Chain A
Amino acid sequence: MDPNFIIPLIIWPPLIGFLINGIFGTLINKRIVTFIAIVMPLLSLVGTFLAYTYFDNPYNYKLYQWFDIEKELYVNFGFYIDHLTIIMLFIITGVGTLIHVYSGGYMHDDKGFARFMSYMNLFLFAMILLVTASNIMILFVGWEGVGLCSFLLIGFWFKNVDYNKAARKAFVMNRIGDLGFLIGVFLIAFTFDTLDIQSILFKLAETKINDPNIILITICLFIGAVGKSAQIPLFTWLPDAMAGPTPVSALIHAATMVTAGIYLISRMHGLFELVPITNTIISSIGLATALVAATIALKQNDIKKVLAYSTVSQLGYMVVALGCGAYITAIFHVMTHAFFKALLFLSAGSVIHGLHGEQDIQNMGGLRSKMKWTHLVFLIGTLAIVGCPPLAGFFSKDEILAKAYSSNFWLFFGLACASVCTAWYMFRIYFATFFGSFRGSENKWDKVHESPAIMLVPLFVLGLFSIIGGFFGMPEIMHQTHFIGSYLSTVIKEPKHEVSHFFEYSLWATTILALGIISWITYKRYGNATEQTFNKIPNSIGLFLSKKYYLDEIYDFIIVRPLKFIGTWFKDVFEFKFVRRVVYSPGFILNQGSVGLKSFQSGNISWYIISMIIGLIAFFLLFLK
């Protein structure tokens, strides 16, 4: 099978879908718009399957030479497909296609339907560009592209000012990370004289451990990952990004864009393996993020916000795995997280759709009877995320915990606490939404309905993958092959972190026991929740958590206000006193000069004659010697 056919098949269809739906979307039938928007990611998925079957060795495909710097540094527009790329492509195109199908139903009655589908296709194109890039510059193009699409899609209902603010916040925080990324790219160009990723990894053979150049480069690249993958301190944009439609939250902020940072670090694993110092920083930030986000989620009442903080927390897990050098585990968790988080978001969207826009769990309850299928898939997602065996989340989380334990005990302990919090808040949401009696109005209860098939089928597929996804990465002590591990071992050579069998078995036992206890307690508390359960006067910790650690207020005080003050000072004082004078003074001088020179045009004839005579005399005196 010709590779020159497969790679364009993967990369170009979403772009074509974006162009067609973007330009002609409002002119053609909605069915055709839906068809195009779904078929294009499907074509990419088919291409990915073909790539999986036919590409044994990594394939490097150069499209054309983009630019060069003084004939020394060449930047090629090229694509590099190896096993890591193929796994990421499966996640992106697979989950992407399912979410496009879901959006066909969810956004069908929206006036901007064609615009939405075109933006989603553009997002897929940018993300595919990001993971298939052979050159860091092309990766950056994809990086910026997903940031742009995130902005466009969060602010999709642009008539609402709050949504615009959320979109702007996401974009600006992303940009801060991008600055770090760019500085890292410049340092790489300076140190390695090339921007091609494989060439960089090749040149690392003779570098020492903890080389200062590499430390700087890795820290800068990690700052980019902090911005994109919502780590501390740049994570507050993600909960606000829930202002966008639910399919957006599922695709961008659960499955793909936020994993771009994880992918970046895994791709540049050669750099990160050399610098234990940076890895310590990475693990610490990941751990802090996981804990902070998990604790905030305990006290949130909006379904989507809880899932957003859950995403931040799980990203913290992945970053900890990266910091421990367990790149394959991180990618495995990316995969399983994509399945169950997209599932959770889409089923939350189904709940919201069924309740005609209600998102607050204080107004829900007892939906189990009226929304059977949604309840079932939400249950599957919840069990997957808390790590209930044998669903997907159990295997990947377990592996991260094991790698963390072999690296540092406190990492493991912190992640274990975060797991407890994860279980608590997920079960809280689950029981409060689907059990007990309905806390909304009678009117709403009569209108509650199950979602249509076009929305349920993707949910079933994702549910299936949440169940079986773990089997792609079975640990060795169960005497199975770790499929993902062996697949990725051609790309990343990871040393085996050995943990004792005793530890593994006790970890499993503790997990199952803890899950049982927590689900029992939360069922007791939230299974028959009433208004009072949520309106209890919180103690100071509860208040602190529910106000999100006051982080938004802190950022506002430290960063936003000084910037606004500086801007206002420039507008009022500097502009008025200095700039205005400098800009107006030439005109003013000319004006005054002309007032002075106007006296020559007095119309007074005797003055004209006098000046004529004076001129003549001067002429004679000067020139006729």
Chain B
Amino acid sequence: MNHIPSIIQTIPLTHYIILSTMLFVVGLIGVMVRKNIIIVFMCIEIMLNAVNLMFVAASIYYSNTAGQIMVFFTMAVAAAEVSVGLAIIVMVYKNLKTTNIDMFNRLKG
């Protein structure tokens, strides 16, 4: 099993960094721009996954399993957050009959 890291290390870490950053930025812009609340949540997931990817890549390249352990935590948190968030969305939809986040302005003032 020692070969797997050395095979993976033929791809420079820089590639993984750029990939992860681009995924993160795509998710970020999606959160800023999209109007549908569920799409916004999906973009949040994109950001989380980008960070997970970065963790794993770093753990291979520096031969440190701490990164992979972190991914476990991150995924658990993501799962919990998604369940709560979706529950909130369902309640908001029941009250406001829309998923357009521009309509969620009850806190205006």
Which residues in A have some Cβ–Cβ distance to B below 8 Å? Answer: 598, 601-606, 609-610, 613
CB-based contact B28/A603 at 8 Å: no
Which one of B28, B31, B33, B105 contacts A604 once the chains associate, using CB atoms below 8 Å? Answer: B105
Which residues in B have some Cβ–Cβ distance to A below 8 Å? Answer: 28, 31-33, 35, 101-102, 104-109
Which one of A598, A603, A610, A613 contacts B105 once the chains associate, using CB atoms below 8 Å? Answer: A603
Q: Please, which residues of chain A bring their CB within 8 A of the CB of B108? A: 601-604
C-alpha gap A609/B106 in the complex (Å): 16
Known: A603-B104, A604-B102. A609 touches B31 (CB 8 A): yes
C-alpha gap A613/B24 in the complex (Å): 13
Known: A613-B28, A613-B32. A606 touches B105 (CB 8 A): no
CB-based contact A603/B32 at 8 Å: no
CB-based contact B101/A602 at 8 Å: no
Q: Please, which residues of chain B bring their CB within 8 A of the CB of A609? A: 31-32
C-alpha gap A601/B35 in the complex (Å): 19
Q: Please, which residues of chain A bring their CB within 8 A of the CB of B31? A: 609, 613
Please, which residue of chain A has its CB at the minimum distance from the CB of B32? A610
Q: Please, which residues of chain A bring their CB within 8 A of the CB of B106? A: 603
CB-based contact A603/B101 at 8 Å: no
C-alpha gap A604/B107 in the complex (Å): 8
Beyond the given pairs A598-B109, A603-B108, A613-B28, 18 more chain A to chain B contacts, judged by CB atoms under 8 angstroms and listed by A's residue number, are: A601-B108, A601-B109, A602-B108, A603-B109, A604-B101, A604-B105, A604-B108, A605-B101, A605-B104, A605-B105, A606-B32, A606-B35, A606-B101, A606-B102, A609-B31, A609-B32, A613-B31, A613-B32
Tell me the minimal C-beta distance from B86 to chain A in angstroms: 16
C-alpha gap A609/B35 in the complex (Å): 12
C-alpha gap A610/B28 in the complex (Å): 9
Tell me the minimal C-beta distance from A225 to chain B in angstroms: 72
Please, which residue of chain A has its CB at the minimum distance from the CB of B44? A609
C-alpha gap A613/B30 in the complex (Å): 12
Q: Please, which residues of chain A bring their CB within 8 A of the CB of B32? A: 606, 609-610, 613
C-alpha gap A601/B32 in the complex (Å): 17
The 4 closest A-B pairs by CB, nearest first: A603-B108, A603-B105, A603-B107, A605-B101
Q: Please, which residues of chain B bring their CB within 8 A of the CB of A605? A: 101-102, 104-105
C-alpha gap A229/B31 in the complex (Å): 92
C-alpha gap A606/B108 in the complex (Å): 13
Tell me the minimal C-beta distance from A606 to chain B in angstroms: 6
C-alpha gap A609/B37 in the complex (Å): 12
C-alpha gap A309/B52 in the complex (Å): 110
Q: List 27 contacting pairs A-B, 8 Å CB cutoff, sorted by A.
A: A598-B109, A601-B107, A601-B109, A602-B105, A602-B108, A603-B104, A603-B105, A603-B107, A603-B108, A603-B109, A604-B101, A604-B102, A604-B105, A604-B108, A605-B101, A605-B102, A605-B105, A606-B32, A606-B33, A606-B35, A606-B102, A609-B31, A609-B32, A610-B32, A613-B28, A613-B31, A613-B32
Tell me the minimal C-beta distance from A597 to chain B in angstroms: 12
Q: Please, which residues of chain B bring their CB within 8 A of the CB of A613? A: 28, 31-32
Please, which residue of chain A has its CB at the minimum distance from the CB of B107? A603
Tell me the minimal C-beta distance from A605 to chain B in angstroms: 5
Please, which residue of chain B has its CB at the minimum distance from the CB of A616? B28
C-alpha gap A602/B28 in the complex (Å): 21
C-alpha gap A605/B28 in the complex (Å): 14
Q: Please, which residues of chain A bring their CB within 8 A of the CB of B107? A: 601, 603
Q: Please, which residues of chain A bring their CB within 8 A of the CB of B28? A: 613
C-alpha gap A606/B102 in the complex (Å): 7
Tell me the minimal C-beta distance from A465 to chain B in angstroms: 88
C-alpha gap A598/B105 in the complex (Å): 14
Tell me the minimal C-beta distance from B53 to chain A in angstroms: 20
C-alpha gap A330/B44 in the complex (Å): 107
Q: Please, which residues of chain A bring their CB within 8 A of the CB of B35? A: 606
C-alpha gap A548/B11 in the complex (Å): 120
Tell me the minimal C-beta distance from A244 to chain B in angstroms: 66
C-alpha gap A502/B88 in the complex (Å): 125
Tell me the minimal C-beta distance from A611 to chain B in angstroms: 10
Tell me the minimal C-beta distance from A280 to chain B in angstroms: 82
Please, which residue of chain B has its CB at the minimum distance from the CB of A606? B101
Tell me the minimal C-beta distance from B45 to chain A in angstroms: 15
Please, which residue of chain A has its CB at the minimum distance from the CB of B37? A605
C-alpha gap A61/B100 in the complex (Å): 95
C-alpha gap A601/B109 in the complex (Å): 5
C-alpha gap A595/B101 in the complex (Å): 24
C-alpha gap A606/B33 in the complex (Å): 7
C-alpha gap A606/B32 in the complex (Å): 6
Q: Please, which residues of chain A bring their CB within 8 A of the CB of B101? A: 604-606
C-alpha gap A605/B100 in the complex (Å): 10
C-alpha gap A602/B102 in the complex (Å): 10
Q: Please, which residues of chain A bring their CB within 8 A of the CB of B102? A: 604-606
C-alpha gap A610/B33 in the complex (Å): 9
Tell me the minimal C-beta distance from B35 to chain A in angstroms: 8
Tell me the minimal C-beta distance from B89 to chain A in angstroms: 12
Tell me the minimal C-beta distance from A170 to chain B in angstroms: 63
